[in-house]
């Protein structure tokens, strides 16, 4: 029996919210403006004390809008998103993470779905894109980096080029991410990039921005490309943050160990062994891990981590 695919694939928008009333209306309006209309909104509110839930409920009552407001686990934004990834009532062909303070450009879903439809549904697939940065008032201030090197597991071990607010992924990618439920993550989007690339999935980084990424004082992550932020990250990594993050990422990847490709399983084992080895062996294992960074400065920074045994 051949099961035909729906004529129009559905997208479940997974919106995580917490005290986001100040910017939420613009994001909700951008969902309605999508040129791809086959979406349903699932919003998980993580205990807001402002009128965020009321705004969502008002939006869901609008004609033609389908969706539901859920209660989040109240353990932070990462667990809030994972609660939707694992929610049994949420079913669609594709899933899109959404942040409360951004604005989607009107072709975001259409661009993502057009590419995802070219991938075999049995293959985990992840779409992500560049973003257009704005200030708190929504005035454009620049662009996020245009990563030229292809996405891959060797890159995912070092950095996350797949910003969660741009991610759209298929059912197979979701199933893999669900296996990591309950394992502490650095952040859900980095884990998804590592999992999909490690398990031989398809990844598309679109150089065309699809999101207006609002930068303000309450960003959970924000733009990490400013010189001051890079310096702070470098110092924090050498004080142990990189090793701690790698420990968390490793535990997450162990939850999908049976789905890693043989080559990527070997790369992960070599990467894990770096910190337990002598200097010369660390350099050899760095090569065996297939590590690469999107920027030359990032690769030099990684080399310092290896030389000083901070991975």
**CA torsion angle for 144, 72, 116, 4 (degrees, to 10)?**
-170
Domain for residue 42, yes or no?
yes
- Asked whether residue 109 falls in the same domain as residue 156, the answer is yes
- Asked whether residue 256 falls in the same domain as residue 161, the answer is no
Q: How many domains does the chain have?
A: 2
- What is the extent of the structural domain holding 245? 227-308
- Asked whether residue 72 falls in the same domain as residue 201, the answer is yes
pLDDT in tens, 8-29: 799 999 999 999 999 999 999 9
* Domain finish residue from 148, 183, 214: 214
- Asked whether residue 182 falls in the same domain as residue 105, the answer is yes
CB 59 within 8 A of CB 140: no
Give residue 48's pLDDT: 98
Give residue 1's pLDDT: 35
Alpha carbon distance 260, 84 (integer Å): 24
CB 189 within 8 A of CB 226: no
Q: Among candidates 271, 116, 265, 279, which has minimal Cα distance to 197?
A: 265
Give residue 234's pLDDT: 65
Give residue 232's pLDDT: 74
Give residue 235's pLDDT: 75
Q: Among candidates 55, 182, 154, 167, which has minimal Cα distance to 108?
A: 167
* Domain finish residue from 150, 179, 214: 214
Query: pTM above 0.95?
Result: no
* Burial annotation 24-49 (CB, 10 A radius, 16+ → b, else e): bebbbebbeebebebbebbbbbbebe
- Asked whether residue 262 falls in the same domain as residue 203, the answer is no
- Asked whether residue 177 falls in the same domain as residue 148, the answer is yes
- Asked whether residue 127 falls in the same domain as residue 253, the answer is no
Please report, for residues 38, 92, 96, the alpha-carbon distance to residue 64 in angstroms, rounded to integers and kept in the order given.
Answer: 10, 17, 19
Alpha carbon distance 234, 154 (integer Å): 20
Give residue 2's pLDDT: 35
Domain for residue 303, yes or no?
yes
Give residue 233's pLDDT: 62
User: Residue 171 belongs to a domain with what CATH number?
Assistant: 3.90.550.10
State whether residue 223 is helix, strand or coil. coil
- Asked whether residue 186 falls in the same domain as residue 39, the answer is yes
Query: Which residues in the chain show pLDDT less than 70?
Result: 1-7, 216-231, 233-234, 236-238
């Amino acid at each position: 029996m051949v099961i035909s695919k729906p004529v129009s694939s559905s997208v479940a928008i997974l919106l995580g919210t917490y005290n986001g009333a100040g910017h939420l209306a613009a994001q909700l309006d951008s969902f309605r403006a999508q040129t791809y209309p086959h979406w349903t909104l699932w919003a998980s509110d993580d205990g807001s004390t402002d009128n965020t839930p009321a705004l969502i409920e008002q939006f869901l009552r609008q004609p033609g809008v389908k969706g539901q407001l859920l209660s989040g686990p109240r353990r932070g934004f990462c667990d809030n998103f994972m609660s939707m990834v694992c929610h049994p009532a949420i079913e669609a062909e594709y899933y899109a993470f959404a942040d409360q303070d951004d604005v989607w450009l009107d072709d975001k879903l259409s661009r993502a779905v057009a590419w995802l439809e070219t991938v075999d549904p049995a293959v985990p697939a992840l779409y992500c894109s560049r973003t257009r940065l704005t200030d708190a008032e929504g005035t454009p201030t620049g662009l996020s980096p245009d990563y030229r090197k292809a996405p891959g597991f060797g890159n995912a071990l070092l950095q996350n080029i797949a910003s969660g607010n741009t991610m759209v992924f298929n059912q197979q990618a979701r199933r893999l991410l669900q296996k990591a439920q309950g394992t502490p993550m650095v952040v859900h989007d980095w884990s998804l990039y590592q999992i999909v690339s490690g398990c031989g999935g398809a990844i598309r980084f679109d150089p065309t921005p699809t999101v207006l990424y609002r930068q303000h004082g309450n960003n959970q992550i924000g733009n990490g490309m400013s010189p001051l932020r890079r310096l702070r990250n470098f110092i924090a990594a050498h004080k142990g943050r990189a090793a701690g993050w790698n420990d968390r990422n490793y535990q997450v990847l162990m939850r999908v160990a049976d789905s890693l490709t043989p080559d990527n399983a070997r790369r992960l084992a070599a990467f894990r062994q770096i910190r337990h080895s002598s200097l010369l062996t660390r350099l050899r294992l760095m090569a065996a891990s297939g590590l690469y960074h999107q920027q030359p400065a990032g690769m030099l920074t990684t080399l310092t981590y290896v030389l000083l045994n901070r991975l």
